[in-house]
Amino acid sequence: MAKPNNVTHEKLFDIKKIFGIIRKNYIVLSRDTSRILPALLFPIVIMLVLGYATGNTPKHIPTAIVIHDESPLSQSIVQAISGSQYFTVKAEVSNVGQARDLLDSGKVKVIVEVPPDLEKNLDNNIQSNIVVIVDESDSSIAQTSRVILQSTINGISARLSRQKLQTYQYSVSSSGQKLNLYINNFQCSPNISSGIFPLNYQQKNYQENVASQLLNIQLFSEANPQDILQPIVYVEKPAYGIGKQPLDFVLPALIAMTLFQGAVMGMGRAVAGEKRDGSLTRVFLTPTSNITIITGTLLFYIIFEMIRASFLVLVSVILFSVVIEGNFLLIAFILLIYVSIAASIGMLISVIVKTEAQFQGIALLISLPVLFLSGVFFPVQAMPKLLQTIAQIITVTYAADALRSIMVKGLGFNYILFDVGILLGFLVVLLTLVLILFRRDI
């Protein structure tokens, strides 16, 4: 008697089981909201940031104006700049030193210097320079400032040149008419020709009717044609040394952004990943305090990211001839604080989530918007007010500003006190949250 065959044959394409596997995956995913929310929110956040951050021209650029001349012409130049939607005049000062302090501290991005005796030089047909100093930290803001200011100053200069030419034309026409009238009166009047009117009367009449007009013509004729055609000239001075490249200004923000990405994502492997493969579980089974585990994990990634930062700076110096102006120890101090913040953010996410996949979803939801709001790719000044506000509360903004002040501007510690204070505040809050929320899950 033949035995029953209990062997189940595997189907190459089992429709019923395919739908069963789909149902199983749906159940697993529906129970894991920490994966669903990032997956849904991530593309929306990216679209919102890119949609509002790109294609806009920076407006309301903070500007300081140095006024050496209080004439109506100087005031008209100030009004033309302050009346533009592209500039917001934060201060009107009397010397360049005050304006440079505002530029160094980041309170303004542009300095416009109105020279002394501007209107007097115009009357004497002497060309004057409007000196502009632009902070090139943000290439888009710098380019917009150059284009708009150059156009504004050239427009004022062209208007003044037309007025000069019209005045000359009137002087030539008027002087000819008055000279003819004077000669006719002199020849036809018996009182003048017979000498009844005194000589001083004749001189006064000539001075009032002829000489003043001829003097205008003489001044105009003796002037340099370029001074007449372009009485006011746009002149730009470098804010921080000659020969700076765009990379010099981008590098600080690029380093800050790279370290943030690396430190945050690295902690996913250090905590969430090691929970999955059991490496961290074995540490939990030993008599090791939470503070020791947190400190050791953070220190490793801080050291690793500091080495990466040094490598990035070295490559920039060797390949692109980037010049570091400031103190290297001060740069290392800022990087140390910032990397500690980024690693703490990564650890905070790790202790909240349960799996490495959850960590990656949340970390990407946080880190990629930070990448676009850092100002490396798109100018923060061109973003809507809401995104500008968000950019002001993320750590990369303060780290990049502090690094730029040291690396590019060569400034000292007193200029970055505010940025350092904000960064230290972030670090204290994050470390406190990590210590409170860290759990020894086995």
Q: Give the pLDDT of residue 173.
A: 63
Q: Residue 89 in contact with residue 81, Cβ under 8 Å?
A: yes
Q: Which residues of 182-191 are buried (b: 16+ CB within 10 A; e: fewer)?
A: beeeeeeeee
User: DSSP code of 270?
Assistant: I
CB distance 253 to 404 below 8 Å: yes
> Are the beta carbons of 305 and 259 closer than 8 angstroms?
yes
Beta carbons within 8 Å of 147's beta carbon, 6+ residues apart? none
Q: Please tell me the least confidently modeled range out of 26-35, 108-117, 123-132, 144-153.
A: 26-35
Mean pLDDT across the stretch 180-209? 53
The sign of the CA dihedral 138, 141, 142, 143 is: positive
What is the spatial distance between Cα 176 and Cα 163, in angstroms, rounded to a whole number?
A: 20
| Residue in 239, 290, 253, 277 with CA at minimum distance from that of residue 356 | 277
Question: Using H for helix, E for strand and C for coil, what is the string for 210-228?
Answer: HHHHHHHHHHHHHCCHHHH
Rounded to 5 degrees, what are φ and ψ at 376?
-70, -45
DSSP 129: E
Does residue 194 have a pLDDT over 60? Answer: no
Cα 371 to Cα 393: distance, rounded to the nearest angstrom? 14
pLDDT in tens, 224-251: 666 667 888 999 888 876 556 767 777 8
Residue 144 to residues 28, 112, 381: CA-CA distances in angstroms?
Answer: 52, 14, 11
Sheet with 110-114, edge to edge strand ranges: 87-93, 61-67, 110-114, 128-134, 232-238
* CATH code reported for the domain at 61-238: 3.40.1710
| Pairing outcome for strands 232-238 and 128-134 | parallel
* Euclidean distance between CA atoms 97 and 282, whole angstroms: 61
Task: Quote the pLDDT of residue 34.
Answer: 61
359-371: b or e for each residue (b if 16 or more CB lie within 10 Å)?
bbbbbbbbbebbb
Mean pLDDT computed over 104-133? 87
Alpha carbon distances (Å) from 154 to 125, 260, 338: 17, 44, 44
8 vs 350, which has greater pLDDT? 350
- SS3 of 353, please? coil
- The number of CA neighbours under 13 Å toward the Cβ of 345 is 25
Instruction: Report the b/e string of 207-231 with b at 16+ CB within 10 A.
Output: eebbbebbebeeebeebeeebbebb
Q: Which of 251, 236, 239, 268 is nearest to 322 (CA)?
A: 251
Average pLDDT of span 376-397: 76
Predicted confidence (pLDDT) per residue in 388-438, tens digit: 787 788 888 888 888 888 888 888 888 889 999 999 999 999 999 988 887
Mean pLDDT of 242-262: 77
Residue 57 has pLDDT above 70, yes or no: yes
Instruction: Give the per-residue pLDDT at 197.
Output: 47
- CB-CB neighbours of 433 under 10 Å: 16
- Top-ranked range on mean pLDDT: pick from 147-151, 208-212, 299-303, 350-354: 147-151
| pTM across the whole model | 0.69
- In order, the DSSP letters of 96-125 are HHHHHHHHHTTS-SEEEEEPTTHHHHHHTT
Mean pLDDT (the chain) is 77
More confident residue, 415 or 387: 415
Q: Is the pLDDT of residue 439 over 50?
A: yes
The full set of domain ranges for the chain reads 61-238, 246-437
Q: What are the pLDDT digits (tens) for 1-55?
A: 455 555 566 666 678 777 777 787 777 767 766 666 666 666 676 676 666 666 5
Least confident of 65-69, 216-220, 239-243, 344-348: 216-220
Q: Which amino acid is at 303?
A: I
- Percent of residues, the chain, with pLDDT higher than 70: 69
